[in-house]
């Protein structure tokens, strides 16, 4: 993509309303623009990151044997009256009346709707488990939306649901998601620590939050020091194998969110205790038959008797992750995208637009990198080099290739790694060999 | 995908509320399920089709040089008050008050929001054109939602917007979308005829609808017979070339939607006139500076004076297309998906589950087809062959491979093309060679 054609409205000023780095940087980098309080438009740069995160989430859900579907944003109130949550949810639920004055709502989550689909379709234990997910926009009408996409009102969530015959089977589904979540976050370059968590208003008796440590985290968490440098999951997983030992390995040591912290356990840890602020990026719940009982989601068991199914739900904040990743990876100059979610892998800078040799070298590099499957943003704007360097640092592409007349005389261009700031002078062939892998 | 693991809740009964084929077949095939009037959940089978259509639309937008972004579903009323449409829109607009009693709405379209983004970011004619699109759920609160996803309330739309300095430039953007739309529909196997159309409540002076002829179409249209067998666009398009002659070629002959029909012109056509019912699948508009003037979206022109930009908007009903395609392609037995949008390309039927030879042959075919990049739905359920044949016809995959003990004795399986009903006995190797292209 040529920058002269790319819609990238970066800001020179730091927006006053943005209190944390990710919010500030996303606005400055032209990744998002506020439509109204807590509601954002994703401009092309931010949209590309959002789609990459969504795709990683999708691939790991599919790998774990969950099937994608899509439920609507607008739900009928009657289902939420069945579960009893229509009143419980309070003002966070965006309530709507349609033209016929029927009570509707913008879904903040989908337990009721998926249970309704399940109970209409599945009648026998033989058709269990059912493992379903969707990636859809949700709405929670926060009193004071802030921190940009980290705590917005309209947000993109991946939510999965499992339906099983009994607790043991439900545990197997829970474990699949536990492991799939570790893999998902790891693929984005994040260390997300699974922490014992309160099951909250959603109800249930087994729950883990996946938490990134970052200074701007929304709450204080405590965990064993070993989690900081833990070896996560890099090998392939057999999702039909017994995952319990693996899950036990990740949950044996102390790790707890704010309201689950235990003073005595923490004291006993001594120097092994790490206390820091955490950002929640995923949350998994087993909640038994809370909804299936209330909503009459029954299957016939092996003995012929009806059983209310065991359910779990599993959420990843897809749009929130864009902000969380920036909180984890940025410096004073801007964003530092991990490669798997970067909007482009390479930023190509022509520092002397109008110079024939520079134009030719850049044109060749641009074509060759794209031919090698590399996503390139080519800054072909006629601006001062300093402006272009600062802009490229701000938007945080992993690699920068800088082409100028002086280097070209010796057949050299500069390769800069955004993360380390390391620069190397290389021939064009070497740059291609390094990047077009 | 093995059918024993796939969530495919097909219905035996024809749902009474469904009046047209696509609605009936989508419910029966387990592609969708109604959440409330005019609002549907997309079950895995339907979701796969929706995603394929979305991807074709996206690729053709990108090819035409439009950039993808994503605007939110919930918009502030104030923008619509600026354009004057807040009152005009009437009860079709889903109006919402948030917890602070601010007036919001679920976007039925996005002219106001994109104009707001544009005016905040672009100041000079040098940064034109701007060509942007998004694919997002919309809501129109129809009085009587019906015909399933063909006239739902919550629906997925691709809407593009162009911003240009003057009419001539705007015409170039309009022409890009005109051609991109022909290519988009053609890739789905549809003949969508561009018809002169009323610009409707959106305002403007140049407008075409893209219409499929089908018995269940919502309105009567008239066109020259030549459109029926017209050669559409199969070669690559140079979107920076002058597209006017190409567009002129497609618009020279008579083709008009209901309210644009002309009795005299139709009479003059004589036997060359075709009158039929049409389904609108796309609509493009040029509307000049209607919104840019009202919302003060100005750029500085070459002479230094401020100019209200010329705009166009361009919509494709992505979710509606799923229904429209079925209206165009079905028979008494079920859906007949065109290959580019089929949820799976091949249905593999084991007619004797429990027979070792059948299981082995099916297993091998399943693996080999997938290894060859073919999407396969493998019916491994222990049901009567008749039930499995009927089910496979219903869901309409383009190819069926039927494996039974009798054929296998001679090393043969049956290949059936859903569209023609043609069956052939072939060796497993021949089937693989035919399908794994």
pLDDT > 60? residue B201: no
Q: Is the pLDDT of residue B204 over 60?
A: no
Measured between alpha carbons, how far is residue B208 from residues A310, B283, B336 in Å? 53, 6, 28
CA closest to A78 among chain B residues? B36
What is the nearest CA distance from A148 to chain B, expressed in angstroms? 14
Question: For B43-48, what is the mean pLDDT?
Answer: 98
Check: CB of residue B172 under 8 Å from CB of residue B65: no
Q: Are B271 and B279 in contact (CB under 8 A)?
A: no
For residues B272 and B224, is the Cβ–Cβ distance under 8 A? yes
Alpha helices (runs of H) in A233-378, residue ranges in sequence order: 244-251, 263-269, 290-294, 318-328, 356-371
Q: In angstroms, how far is CA A362 from the centroid of its own chain? A: 34
Tell me how far apart the alpha carbons of residues A53 and A49 are, in angstroms, rounded to a whole number: 6
Mean pLDDT computed over B159-178: 97
pLDDT of residue B202: 52
Q: Report CB contact under 8 Å: B94, A91.
A: no
For residues B103 and B135, is the Cβ–Cβ distance under 8 A? no
How far apart CA A41 and CA B79 sit, in angstroms, is 14
DSSP secondary structure, A334-356, as one string: EE---GGG-S-SEEEEESSTT-H
Say if CB B138 and CB B109 are below 8 A apart: yes
| Residue B263, burial from CB neighbour count under 10 angstroms (0-12, 13-18, 19+) | exposed
- pLDDT over threshold 90, residue B91: yes
CB-nearest to A33 from B43, B76, B117 is B117
What pairing do the DSSP bridges indicate for beta strands B67-68 and B130-139?
parallel
Answer whether A77 touches B (CB < 8 Å). Answer: no
Give the pLDDT band (50/70/90) at residue B196.
confident
- Check: CB of residue A139 under 8 Å from CB of residue A108: yes
Question: Nearest Cβ partner of B39 from A72, A117, A137?
Answer: A72
Q: Which residues pair with B288 in a beta bridge?
A: B311
> Which residue of B lies nearest to A9 if distances are taken between CA atoms?
B121
Q: What is the ipTM of this complex?
A: 0.96
Closest residue in A to B155 (Cα) is: A72
pLDDT at B414: 98
Question: In this complex, do B43 and A98 lie within 8 Å of one another by their Cβ atoms?
Answer: no
Report yes or no: B236 at the A interface, CB cutoff 8 Å.
no
Q: In A142-300, where do the E strands start and end?
A: 154-164, 193-196, 206-213, 219-224, 255-256, 273-288, 298-300
Q: Which residues neighbour A148 within 8 Å (Cβ) at sequence distance 6 or greater?
A: A18, A20, A22, A23, A26, A27, A32, A40, A323
Instruction: List A residues 138-157 in contact with B (Cβ-Cβ < 8 A).
Output: 139, 141, 143, 153-154
Does the distance separating the beta carbons of B74 and A153 come in below 8 Å? yes
Q: What is the largest CA-CA distance in chain A?
A: 83
CA A375, CA A331: separation in Å to the nearest integer?
23
Cβ of B154 within 8 Å of Cβ of A39? The answer is no
Q: Which of A47, A73, A120 sits opposite B70 (nearest CB)?
A: A47
Question: Which of B55, B98, B139 is the best substitution to test chain A (most A C-beta atoms within 10 A)?
Answer: B98
**Mean pLDDT score of chain B, rounded to an integer?**
95
Collapsing DSSP to helix, strand or coil, A205 comes out as: coil
Interface mutation target, options A8, A26, A36, chain B, most CBs of B under 10 Å: A36
Exposed, middle or buried, B88 (CB in 10 Å: 0-12/13-18/19+)? Answer: exposed
Neighbours of A373 (CB within 10 A): 9
> Which residues from chain B sit within 8 angstroms of residue A160, using beta carbons?
none
d(CA A413, CA A369): 14
Instruction: Using an 8 Å CB-CB cutoff, list chain A residues near B2.
Output: none
Give contacts of A99 with chain B, Cβ < 8 Å.
Answer: 91-92, 141, 143
CATH class of B344-435: alpha beta
pLDDT in the model for residue B175 = 96
List the 10-69 stretch of A: residues with Cβ below 8 A of B.
30, 33, 35-36, 39-44, 47, 50, 65, 67-69
pLDDT band at residue B323 using 50, 70 and 90 as cut-offs: very high
- For chains A and B, count residue pairs whose Cβ atoms are closer than 8 Å: 140
Q: How far apart are CA A313 and CA A110, in angstroms?
A: 9
| Burial call B288-310: b when 16+ CB within 10 Å, e when fewer | bbbbbebbebbbeeeeeeebbbb
CA neighbours closer than 13 Å in the CB half-sphere of residue A204: 28
**Rounded Cα distance, A130 and A164, in Å:** 7
Predicted confidence (pLDDT) at residue B199 exceeds the cutoff of 80: no
Edge-to-edge strand ranges of the sheet holding A103-106: A74-76, A103-106, A94-97
Question: Each residue of B246-285: pLDDT tens digit?
Answer: 999 999 999 999 989 999 999 999 999 999 999 999 999 9
Q: What is d(CA A360, CA B7) in angstroms, rounded to the nearest whole number? A: 54
Residues 6+ apart with CB under 8 A from A350: A358, A359, A362, A378, A379, A380, A403
**CATH for A21-334, among 1.20.900.10, 3.30.930.10, 2.40.50.140, 1.10.150.120?**
3.30.930.10
Residue A140: is it exposed, middle or buried by C-beta count within 10 angstroms (0-12/13-18/19+)? buried
On whether the CB atoms of residues A36 and B72 are closer than 8 A, the answer is no
A322 and chain B: CB distance < 8 Å anywhere?
Answer: no
Window 158-217 of B: residues touching A by CB (8 A cutoff) are: none
Residues in chain A: 437
Q: Of the segments A45-54, B187-196, B211-220, which one has the largest average pLDDT value? A: A45-54
Q: A21-334 with A344-435: one CATH topology?
A: no
Inter-chain CB proximity B69 and A42 less than 8 Å? yes
For A250, phi and psi rounded to 5 degrees? -85, -15
Could you tell me which of B390, B384, B374 has the C-alpha nearest to residue B350? B384
User: In sequence order, what are the beta bridge partners of B434?
Assistant: none
Report the length, in residues, of chain B.
437
pTM for this prediction: 0.97
Domain ranges of chain A: 21-334, 344-435
| Alpha-carbon dihedral A65, A70, A74, A78, rounded to 10 degrees | -50
pLDDT given at position B200: 60
B380 touches chain A (CB under 8 A): no
Question: Among B57, B54, B55, B33, which Cα is nearest to B43's?
Answer: B33
- b/e map of A393-409 (b: 16 or more CB within 10 Å)? bbbbbbbbbbbbeebbe
Using the Cβ of B5 and the Cβ atoms of chain A, whether some distance falls under 8 Å is answered with: yes
Chunked in runs of 10, what are the mean pLDDT values of chain A (437 residues)? 96 88 97 97 98 98 98 98 94 96 97 98 96 98 93 97 97 97 95 84 74 90 91 83 93 91 94 95 93 97 97 97 97 97 98 96 97 97 96 98 96 97 97 88
């Amino acid at each position: 993509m040529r920058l002269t054609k790319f819609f990238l409205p970066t800001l020179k000023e730091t927006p006053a309303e943005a209190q944390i780095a990710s919010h500030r940087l996303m606005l400055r980098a032209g990744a998002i623009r506020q439509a109204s309080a807590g509601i954002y438009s994703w401009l092309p740069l931010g949209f590309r990151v959002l789609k990459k995160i969504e795709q990683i989430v999708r691939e790991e859900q599919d790998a774990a044997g969950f099937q994608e579907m899509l439920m609507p944003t607008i739900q009928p109130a009657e289902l939420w009256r069945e579960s009893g949550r229509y009143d419980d949810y309070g003002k966070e639920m965006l309530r709507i009346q349609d033209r016929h004055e029927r009570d509707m709502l913008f879904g903040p989550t989908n337990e009721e709707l998926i249970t309704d689909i399940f109970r209409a379709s599945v009648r026998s234990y033989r058709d269990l488990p059912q493992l379903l997910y969707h990636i859809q926009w949700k709405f929670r009408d926060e009193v004071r939306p802030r921190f940009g996409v980290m705590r917005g009102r309209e947000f993109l969530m991946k939510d999965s649901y499992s339906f099983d015959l009994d607790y043991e089977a439900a545990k197997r589904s829970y474990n699949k998601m536990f492991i799939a979540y570790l893999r998902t976050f790891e693929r984005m370059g994040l260390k997300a620590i699974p922490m014992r968590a309160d099951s909250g208003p959603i109800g249930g008796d087994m729950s883990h939050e996946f938490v990134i440590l970052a200074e701007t985290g929304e709450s204080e968490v405590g965990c064993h020091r070993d989690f900081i440098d833990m070896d996560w999951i890099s090998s392939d997983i057999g999702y039909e194998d017994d995952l319990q030992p693996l899950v036990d390995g990740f949950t044996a040591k102390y790790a707890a969110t704010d309201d689950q912290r235990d003073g005595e356990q923490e004291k006993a840890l001594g120097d092994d205790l790490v206390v820091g602020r955490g950002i929640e990026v995923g949350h998994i719940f087993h909640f038994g038959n809370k909804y299936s009982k209330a909503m009459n989601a029954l299957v016939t068991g092996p003995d012929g008797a009806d059983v209310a199914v065991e359910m779990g739900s599993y959420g990843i904040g897809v749009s929130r992750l864009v902000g969380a990743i920036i909180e984890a990876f940025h410096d004073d100059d801007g964003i530092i995208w991990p490669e798997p979610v970067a909007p482009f892998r390479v930023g190509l800078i022509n520092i002397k637009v109008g110079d024939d040799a520079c134009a030719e070298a850049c044109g060749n590099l641009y074509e060759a990198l794209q031919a090698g499957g590399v996503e390139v943003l080519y800054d072909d704007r006629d601006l001062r080099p300093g402006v272009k360097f600062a802009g490229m640092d701000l938007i945080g592409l992993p690699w920068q290739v800088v082409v100028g007349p002086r280097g070209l005389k010796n057949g050299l261009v500069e390769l800069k790694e955004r993360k380390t700031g390391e620069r190397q002078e290389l021939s064009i062939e070497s740059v291609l060999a390094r990047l077009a892998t």
